[in-house]
Amino acid sequence: MNEAPDQGAEIHVCAVEETIEIIGGKWKCQILHTLQDGTKRFGDLRREIPDVTQRILTRKLRELEDHGVVHRKVYAEVPPRTEYSLTPLGQSLGPVLDALENWAIKSRLSATKAQQ
């Protein structure tokens, strides 16, 4: 719809929402987790995250790239080759993702206790 040219700057009431917009959405945290192992080609990611379609994987990678957490390097070759890796900013997400994961585990325990 030819929206306004706000260079990726969405309106967020609190900073927390900005981070969630970047790492939220289906597949995003899986992609990030996979890339924490190191640089991967597009086909590698497809193999390691088998349930995502090409289209969606491409789109999610593009979103992560637009937000500066993933770097995309295209080699002008035939057949084409593209390598994805975390930027320094993307690597700095590690502790944040760990915090979210650890809280989820704690949350599960609380839910279990509540059912007893």
Partner DNA sequence: CTGAATCCAATGCGATACTG
Partner DNA sequence: CAGTATCGCATTGGATTCAG
Contact (Cβ atoms closer than 8 angstroms) between residue 40 and residue 83: yes
Q: Which is nearer to DNA, 2 or 116 (CB)?
A: 2
Nearer to a second copy, 73 or 89 (CB): 89
Cα(98)–Cα(88) distance, integer angstroms: 17
Binding mask 89-108 for a second copy (x = CB under 8 A): x--xx-xxx-xxx-xxxxxx
Rule CB under 7 A: say whether 26 interacts with DNA.
yes
* Sheet with 81-86, side-by-side order of all strands: 40-41, 81-86, 70-75
Is 58 near DNA (CB under 7 A)? yes
Q: Which residues contact 21 (CB under 8 A, 6 or more apart)?
A: 10, 12, 67
Distance CA 68, CA 88 (A): 9
68's contact among a second copy, DNA, none, with CB below 5 to 8 A by partner kind, is a second copy
* Contact string 73-112 vs DNA (x = CB under 7 A): -x----xxxx------------------------------
Q: Is 55 in the site for DNA (CB under 7 A)?
A: yes
* E strand intervals along 7-69: 40-41
Q: Which residues bind DNA (CB under 7 A)?
A: 1, 3, 25-27, 41-43, 46, 52-56, 58, 60-62, 72, 74, 79-82
